[in-house]
């Protein structure tokens, strides 16, 4: 039983991405009983930055054994049980993913000593194909083991509820990567600089970002409305993208990786942020500088971050669709400025690290409430 109001918390991840470290340190600072984090390494082809380490949270690195691929993928995490025995947590927060066999061992170990287990996941989209009913049944059975669930969005909450999990035990934590902005909303004029709007992309240059689609979409616009296109970032696709831009859209400028004041200056001078593909970690930062957003569908979390009031979510990945959206967005500058102000309000009031930490603390308090 948990004997005090300060539970000792453990948090498991398959991989600890660098962008998640600020959240973990903020959560650790809010957990008087302490927080320890366990994670392994990604597969070589995943291109996940794992260089950062928590400073406020204890950290233990395990070893991931990746088995098979696609729908048959499994990950065995060695060292997980040793970490739990060493840390002796009252509460374990773990990825709500049945593809990690060692997680079942961890859940059983926690339950045997009256500990609490909280699942953390994107949701549970309806599967298709053969054995879909069996897969749904197995998912529902798996999540019933958790004392509470944390998910990123209303869509995730709905999906877990449709599996029969009680709604009052599901906590929505915005998928934030930064604190609420401390700077004021940048002021932008009601005319584009030199009558040429500036579009900005920020991220790693790899195929899943669909930067090639963005370049092609700009090239489809009539010359009179073609914007300046700023590509900020580096990665394995950079040379290929530079060659494409030279052929079809010379108005593209590649800045390489930018950070701190240099990146902030670009975001302040831009008019619209665009990420056609997945993995939009820069969206929240762009919104904090009053930028409206065009984003891809990605994993569903954009449905809470990018809304009608501050942007557009692409219905498909074609250059033609993106080109039409860019033309529509840039065609009404006053509307664009209002949408930028809405972006700033969303990250100031809703989608930020402070609110994400608060949701996790509520889940911990709920899961341990029977022990108070």
Residue-range domain boundaries for the chain: 9-177+352-371, 193-349
| pLDDT reported for residue 72 | 84
| pLDDT reported for residue 241 | 98
Give yes or no on whether 9-177+352-371 and 193-349 have one common fold: yes
User: Tokens for 187?
Assistant: 């002021």
| pLDDT reported for residue 372 | 43
Ranges of residues in the chain with a pLDDT under 70 are: 1-4, 298-303, 370-372
**H runs (alpha helix) in the chain:** 21-29, 80-87, 101-112, 132-143, 154-162, 211-220, 238-248, 260-269, 283-288, 302-305, 319-330, 333-349, 353-368
Q: What is the pTM for the complete model shown?
A: 0.87
| pLDDT reported for residue 297 | 80
Residues 6+ away with beta carbon under 8 Å from 365: none
Q: How many CB atoms lie within 10 A of CB 177?
A: 22
Q: How far apart are CA 346 and CA 288, in angstroms?
A: 9
| pLDDT reported for residue 4 | 54
Residue 297: helix, strand or coil by DSSP?
A: coil
Q: How many CB atoms lie within 10 A of CB 57?
A: 21
| pLDDT reported for residue 17 | 92
Radius of gyration of the chain (CA): 22
| pLDDT reported for residue 302 | 60
Its CATH architecture, for the domain 9-177+352-371, is 3-Layer(aba) Sandwich (3.40)
As assigned by CATH, the class of the 193-349 domain is alpha beta
Q: How many CB atoms lie within 10 A of CB 256?
A: 11
| pLDDT reported for residue 305 | 86
């Amino acid at each position: 039983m948990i004997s005090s109001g300060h539970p000792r918390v453990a948090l498991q991840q398959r991989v600890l991405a660098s962008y998640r470290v600020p959240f973990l340190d903020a959560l650790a600072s809010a957990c008087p009983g302490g927080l320890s984090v366990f994670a392994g390494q990604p597969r070589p082809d995943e291109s996940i930055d794992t260089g950062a380490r928590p400073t406020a949270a204890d950290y233990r690195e395990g070893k991931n054994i990746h088995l098979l691929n696609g729908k048959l993928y499994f990950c065995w995490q060695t060292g997980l049980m040793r970490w739990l025995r060493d840390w002796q947590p009252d509460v374990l927060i773990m990825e709500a993913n049945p593809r990690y066999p060692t997680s079942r061992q961890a859940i059983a170990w926690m339950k045997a000593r009256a500990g609490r287990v909280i699942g953390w996941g994107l949701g549970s989209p309806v599967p298709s194909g053969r054995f879909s009913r069996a897969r749904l049944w197995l998912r529902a059975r798996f999540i019933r083991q958790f004392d509470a669930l944390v998910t990123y969005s209303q869509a995730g909450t709905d999906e877990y509820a449709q599996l029969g999990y009680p709604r009052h035990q599901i906590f929505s934590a915005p998928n934030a990567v930064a604190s609420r902005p401390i700077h004021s909303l940048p002021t932008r004029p009601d005319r584009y600089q030199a009558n040429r709007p500036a579009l900005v992309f920020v991220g790693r240059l790899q195929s899943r970002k669909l930067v090639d689609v963005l370049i092609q979409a700009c090239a489809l616009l009539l010359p009179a409305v073609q914007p300046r296109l700023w590509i900020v970032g580096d990665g394995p696709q950079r040379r290929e993208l530079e060659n494409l831009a030279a052929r079809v859209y010379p108005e593209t400028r590649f800045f390489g990786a930018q950070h701190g004041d240099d990146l902030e200056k670009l975001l302040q001078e831009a008019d619209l942020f665009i990420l056609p593909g997945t993995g939009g970690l820069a969206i929240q930062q762009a919104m904090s500088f009053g930028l409206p957003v065009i984003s891809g569908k990605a994993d569903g979390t954009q449905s809470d971050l990018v809304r009608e009031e501050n942007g557009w979510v692409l219905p498909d990945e074609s250059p033609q669709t993106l080109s039409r959206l860019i033309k529509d967005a840039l065609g009404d500058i006053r509307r664009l400025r209002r949408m930028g102000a809405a972006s700033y309000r969303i990250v100031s009031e809703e989608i930020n690290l402070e609110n994400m930490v608060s949701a996790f603390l509520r889940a911990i308090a709920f899961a341990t409430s029977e022990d108070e």
